[in-house]
Amino acid sequence: MHGLRREYTGAAIDENRLDADPVKQFNAWFEDAAELPEPNAMTLATVDAGGQPDARTLLLKSCDARGFTFFTNYRSAKAGQLADAPRAAMLFFWGPLHRQVRIRGRVERTTRAESEEYFATRPRESQLGAWASPQSEEIASRDILEQRLAQAEARFAGRPVDCPDHWGGYRLVPESIEFWQGRPARLHDRIEYRRGEDGHWARRRLAP
């Protein structure tokens, strides 16, 4: 691994051209990444009750002034961790653009209406899968999942699939957002926004 090396040649971040609102700046960078495979894929980091960090890849489903929203099973390991410690970090890495964005903040559940509205847009197979999978629980075999899926298919045959009570959204309300641009000689650009107690964002440059 020590021999693997890639030179980063991204253009400099011009601080004068950055939006004062980091969420708007994130959306601008997201548009730049829109043609990449799954640009909304991100690593979500949480911590369990014992202080052990945990991370996994999820898909961001919306981003607005309220925060960054994703959906999952409320009985999953990550949901249990968020119940114990409702804070998290997100990492987006867009390799071809030599860019990444780090986001940290508190996490809250979306409203039930928001969860149901998004669930209704999912492919039917994914909707049924939300009923079939006891996420993060031990299962004896793959056959168990197949049986549970068949039961869900029978239950909702000929009608829309209801959103399970144990499934829904979370919103990360950002307190800091960092924009990283890869640069030559590993002298990368890092611009961090921090939200003050008054709700306004302050911006600073960090050493790479």
User: Which position has the token pair 């964002």?
Assistant: 201
The three-class DSSP label of residue 121 is coil
Q: Give the H or E element holding residue 59.
A: strand 53-59
Which of 36, 44, 24 minimizes the C-alpha distance to 95?
36
Residues 80 and 86: their CA atoms lie apart, in Å, by 10
Unique residue bearing structure tokens 């869900």: 152
Which helix (H) or strand (E) element contains residue 46?
strand 41-47
Instruction: Choose among 72, 68, 100, 98: nearest CA to 174.
Output: 68
Q: Which residues are catalytic?
A: 186
Asked if 190 and 180 count as a contact pair (C-beta separation under 8 A), the reply is yes
With tokens 């987006």, the residue in question is 92
Could you give the angle at the alpha carbon of 169 between the alpha carbons of 156 and 19, nearest 5°? Answer: 140
Q: Give ∠ CA 7-9-13 in degrees, rounded to 5.
A: 135
